Structure 1
Amino acid sequence: MKIVDFHCDALCKLLLDKELTFKDSKPGILDVTYERLKAAGTVLQTFAIYIPQSLNGRLEPILESLDRFHQLVLTCEDMAFVKTSKDLEACLKQGKIGALLSLEGVDGIQGQIYMLRILYQLGLRAAGLTWNHANWAADGAMEQRGGGLTEKGRRFVEECNNLGILLDVSHLSEQAFWDVAEQSSKPIVASHSNAKAICDHPRNLTDEQIKRIIAMKGMIGITFVPWFVSKEDIVTVDDLIRHIEYICELGGEAHIMLGSDFDGIDRYISGLTQPMELPVLRDALLKRYSAQQTEQIMSANALRFLDQHLPNE
């Protein structure tokens, strides 16, 4: 069964540790590696460009992350850069692992829309406006004032729509979420968020947000961040599936994908610590859902969405 994961932070680790490699990586650091993606049956992995706070606010770390992506990820023989729906189709036919590029927090482009256009030309295909705090574009989920989009943020949303960059709402404040939902003429994605009704965390989605994403024909990436899954000390795959079941109850069966957040966490769901363990989730889903429904969650929903919404060329 194919696997698509819409969010990992491996590029951040590759940025911070200049001795680290993606292939033949030294053990104990990266969750997502080339060998693990191959062994897992992953057909597409989204790599987030996340710049930690100590380096944030400048374009240079974003460009350096792009360079690490090209030098360390795309040089692996069975990795393929996915920028268009045709790239995705070719990747699937050739049995390669697709690599999609996203930006997690737009602080470093400093409100300059021309920088967004340049990043698009360099292959960026998804963008979340904030991390957890406020920047020039919007407030994040942990910003206490809970503000929405700024005027420059609205221009950013409009240009993403024009270019064909997917808008990621996972880290936004509730007001900013609704502003993006109103402003965007294209479907939105929450690349790594769960259901707030199951686990009350600011990074999770309310019922109303989930329903809006579904109504816009967008996507929700179920994430493996333990504290977004359950308040218990030990979090299990069954706890994760409760979020999937709940979103399905709200009408979201065709709008669920995976957004692991591997390499962005230091604590894990029991038995789900890296891509090679994803069959554990698959087998648990097969106890509750048909093979077709399980395949939808593991990959087919995401692949359909990308085929429809990535640029044609």
Structure 2
Amino acid sequence: MIFDGHSDIWTDVAIKTLNGEKDIIRRYHLDKLKKGNITGSIFVIWIDPPYTDQPYKRAMEIVDSIKKESEYIKDSILIARSFDDIEKAKREGKLYVFIGLEGLSSIGENLNLIDYFYDFGARHASLTWNEENALATGVRGNPQRGITELGKKAVRKINNKRMLLDVSHLNEKSFWDVAYETDSPIIASHSNCKHLCDVPRNLSDEQLKKIAELGGVVGINSFNEFVHHDIEKQDVRMLVQHIEHMANVMGIDHVGIGMDYCDFLDDSSMSSFSQQETSYTKGLEDASKTSKLLIEMEKAGFTAEDIEKVAYKNFHNIIKKVIG
């Protein structure tokens, strides 16, 4: 069993739905997920480039695509809204998917839209992607700008709705603003360690410790530019070193998986954030290879119990605690 804390599959669903295709997850993704032993995930509503200048419109296109796709996945995927739904999916032999919100640029200044997305099924939210918006500042925004007063209200609303609050993509000032504002555990669904690869999207040891202190989880990310600056070292063994470092800094109970596979994204999206010819960590080219990470963990000396915690138990625990 593997829980992947971050996937952009809804983006692919939206693109292909708008192009007139149907039954997209079954045709393009289901076999890969099963081969990789992924039994659950967070699929996010992400405002993908080049649509970032019309975030609300794009979000509604994705919502509409999810509604259409839901008719085709009923027998294979359960859209989860609670921890009980994980157990239900297991009994029914289905994958379980939580709907997430990767950034809230789509809501503008209208916090009532969080209620709309919650009612639609979203149980996860981050304040930004890479951008600055009305709530907070992403890693490509002004480093002196953190979260706004409206952003603080959004944090409290997300806490009160019992949604997972995600700090991946926030700049450091926004991260610390959120950490001091929240009264609930936080996650970084798809981030690695600055200690091993110093890029803005990765987390410092101080940030890792804070997430652990708050009872949160960090999902290890397979996007190659967050693994190592040396292309030759962007492989699954190096990614395991990130897990080892997180475990040493935070404790193994706070490490999970958030693979962020990009194999299905087109150049118009990828070119906005990827500088290399490929986006994958060698050995983890797509979702079908995910279980290789666990094999490498075993080779590195992790116990069976530790591997289970990273694979799914730690994320399950925080889902049970926060979402209920």
TM-score, normalisation: structure 2: 0.89
Deviation at 1:93, TM superposition (A): 2.8
Instruction: Answer with 59-68 or 116-125: which moved more.
Output: 59-68
Deviation at 1:144, TM superposition (A): 3.5
The alignment partner of 1:250 has SS state of helix
The alignment partner of 2:25 has SS state of coil
In structure 2, what residue type is equivalent to 1:251?
M
Cα deviation, 1:260-284, whole Å, max 9, x if unaligned, reads 1113664211111112211211111
In structure 2, what residue type is equivalent to 1:196?
K
Aligned to 2:13: 14
Distance 2:163 2:131 in 1: 22
Cα deviation, 1:127-173, whole Å, max 9, x if unaligned, reads 11111121111111121333111011111001001111111100101
In structure 1, what residue type is equivalent to 2:76?
D
8 Å Cα contact 2:143-2:173 kept in structure 1: no
Instruction: Answer with 56-65 or 106-115: which moved more.
Output: 56-65
Aligned to 1:205: 203
The alignment partner of 1:101 has SS state of strand
Deviation at 1:12, TM superposition (A): 1.6
Change (3 A) 1:309 1:16: same
Distance 2:101 2:250 in 1: 29
Deviation at 1:46, TM superposition (A): 0.9
Specify every segment of 5 or more residues in structure 1 that has no aligned partner in the other structure, as ranges. 26-32
Deviation at 1:179, TM superposition (A): 0.6
Distance 1:269 1:68 in 2: 29
8 Å Cα contact 1:23-1:72 kept in structure 2: no
Distance 1:282 1:242 in 2: 12
Cα deviation, 1:286-305, whole Å, max 9, x if unaligned, reads 12211111111111111122
Aligned to 2:27: 24
Distance 2:132 2:126 in 1: 12
- Number of aligned residue pairs: 303
Distance 1:135 1:103 in 2: 14
In structure 1, what residue type is equivalent to 2:38?
T
Work out which of the residue numbers 21, 30, 48 in structure 2 matches 1:34: 30
Answering whether residue 268 of structure 2 is matched by residue 272 of structure 1, we say no
Deviation at 1:74, TM superposition (A): 6.2
8 Å Cα contact 1:22-1:73 kept in structure 2: no
Deviation at 1:104, TM superposition (A): 1.0
Aligned to 1:28: none
Deviation at 1:7, TM superposition (A): 0.5
Identity level (%): 30
Distance 2:71 2:256 in 1: 24
Instruction: Answer with 179-188 or 72-81: which moved more.
Output: 72-81
User: For residues 99-138 of structure 1, what are the structure 2 equivalents within 5 Å?
Assistant: 99-138=97-136
Aligned to 2:230: 232
Aligned to 1:244: 243
Aligned to 1:30: none
Change (3 A) 1:40 1:73: farther
Distance 1:269 1:58 in 2: 30
8 Å Cα contact 2:227-2:238 kept in structure 1: yes
Aligned to 1:253: 252
8 Å Cα contact 1:74-1:81 kept in structure 2: no
TM-score, normalisation: structure 1: 0.92
In structure 2, what residue type is equivalent to 1:257?
G
Instruction: Answer with 180-189 or 287-296: which moved more.
Output: 287-296
Change (3 A) 1:78 1:16: closer
Work out which of the residue numbers 191, 194, 197 in structure 2 matches 1:193: 191
The alignment partner of 1:59 has SS state of helix
Instruction: Please provide the CA RMSD for this pair.
Output: 1.6
Distance 1:73 1:220 in 2: 29
Distance 1:90 1:127 in 2: 23
User: For residues 68-83 of structure 1, what are the structure 2 equivalents within 5 Å?
Assistant: 68-72=65-69, 75-76=72-73, 77-83=75-81
Distance 1:249 1:211 in 2: 10
Deviation at 1:105, TM superposition (A): 1.3
Distance 2:227 2:144 in 1: 23
Specify every segment of 5 or more residues in structure 2 that has no aligned partner in the other structure, as ranges. 271-277
Aligned to 1:86: 84
